Amino acid sequence: MFELVDHRRKPLQNVRSELIIKGFAVMADKPLPAPVQDFVDRIRAYCAAGKQDEELWPAVADDLKMLLADPDLVEQSKTWPDTKKGDGPPSNLLFYEDPDYGFVLNALVKGPKSVTNVHDHGPSWTLYGVLDGGDHIQRFSRVDDNPTEEGPAELKSNGEFDVVPGYIDVVPPWEIHQEANGDHRTIGFIVRSQRSGTFKQYRYNTENGSIATYNGPTQIPYDL
Ligand SMILES: [Fe+2]
């Protein structure tokens, strides 16, 4: 298991370079680009002011919309490596993990014809912002009364829609969904309320209702 080293007493500008997960460094010494640091500072200010999840994440989504329009970020994202191919397992680039409030900045970079499992993000909140490409998203909810973690789960469709660059999908805890991106590459810039791997999330088999737990996408430390 990973163990976080607590550097909360350090000045903020030093936090990123000194945030270490035992076994390997999460972040290098490079500071975040100014627009991304501003974005992080805004989230931290909301958290410090005590904003609760239902208010916090929609507010962060508004700020993320501005960040997604940053031409330098869009340009840089074209060089990011694919972290999901076809129906293979997803990984995330990990750009930042907040030492005080636990939120993270990730990217999911999908090659053409990528399809996810039907899944949720467990107890975490997710802002999925499209930087490039696009996705077709289907949403589901459970209509059975079986145990949350065991099932069998019976799902009903809650609709489907296409997302394009600039769109932010706000994914609350336990919302069940599936994404497919078609013939093009798709880059999602993601804010999560906590790092994948620190909580359980679930995959749903729509054929037989079975549920499987997993730890979410593998996290790959990556400099912005
Ligand atoms: Fe997801």
pLDDT of residue 27: 52
The answer for 19, left when phi > 0, alpha when psi is -120 to 50, beta otherwise, is beta
pLDDT band at 18 (very low <50, low <70, confident <90, very high): very low
Q: Tell which wins on pLDDT, 25 or 27.
A: 27
Q: Give the pTM.
A: 0.86
Q: Cα of 21 to ligand 1 centre, how many Å?
A: 24
Q: Cα of 179 to ligand 1 centre, how many Å?
A: 7
Q: Cα of 88 to ligand 1 centre, how many Å?
A: 14
Residue 167 has pLDDT above 70, yes or no: yes
Residue 21 has pLDDT above 80, yes or no: no
In angstroms, the first-to-last Cα distance of the chain is: 26
Q: Are 42 and 63 in contact (CB under 8 A)?
A: yes
pLDDT of residue 29: 64
Q: Cα of 177 to ligand 1 centre, how many Å?
A: 6
Asked if residue 2 belongs to a domain, the reply is: no
Q: Cα of 121 to ligand 1 centre, how many Å?
A: 6
Quote the mean pLDDT of the chain. Answer: 88
Task: Give 145-157 pLDDT, tens digit per residue.
Answer: 999 888 999 999 9
Q: Give the CATH number of the domain where residue 200 resides.
A: 2.60.120.10
- How far apart are the C-alpha atoms of 170 and 60, rounded to whole Å? 10
Asked if residue 3 belongs to a domain, the reply is: no
Amino acid at 202: Y
- How far apart are the C-alpha atoms of 137 and 186, rounded to whole Å? 13
Portion of the chain with pLDDT greater than 90, in percent: 82
Q: Cα of 120 to ligand 1 centre, how many Å?
A: 6
Number of domains forming the structure of the chain: 1
pLDDT of residue 210: 97
Bridge partners of residue 20, in order along the sequence: 25
Residue ranges making up the domain that contains 22: 12-221
Asked if residue 139 belongs to a domain, the reply is: yes
Q: If you write DSSP's letter for every residue of 169-201 in order, what string do you get?
A: EEE-TT-EEEEE-TTS-EEEEEEESS-TTSS-E
Asked if residue 63 belongs to a domain, the reply is: yes
Q: Cα of 122 to ligand 1 centre, how many Å?
A: 10
pLDDT of residue 8: 37
